Amino acid sequence: MPEKRKVYLVEFSLRGDGCQQQVYDITQASARMPVALLEDFPPASRKVSED
């Protein structure tokens, strides 16, 4: 769950027929702290994965 006064970076990467989402806490610019990793969930549409 997101916390107040925190800054988060969310990265998405497409992989084959699914994608991966990685969330980082970047509140302190010198430290990128991993918060969550979601793997192997399907993309929103087939067109996205074909581009």
Ranges of each domain in the chain: 8-50
**Comparing 2 with 34, which gets the higher pLDDT?**
34
Considering only residues 6 and 51, tell me which one the structure prediction assigns the higher pLDDT.
6
pTM attached to this predicted model: 0.66
Residue 48: strand, helix, or coil:
helix
Long-range pairs for 32-36 at CB < 8 Å and ≥24 separation?
Answer: 35/8
Confidence of residue 49 (pLDDT cuts 50, 70, 90): very low
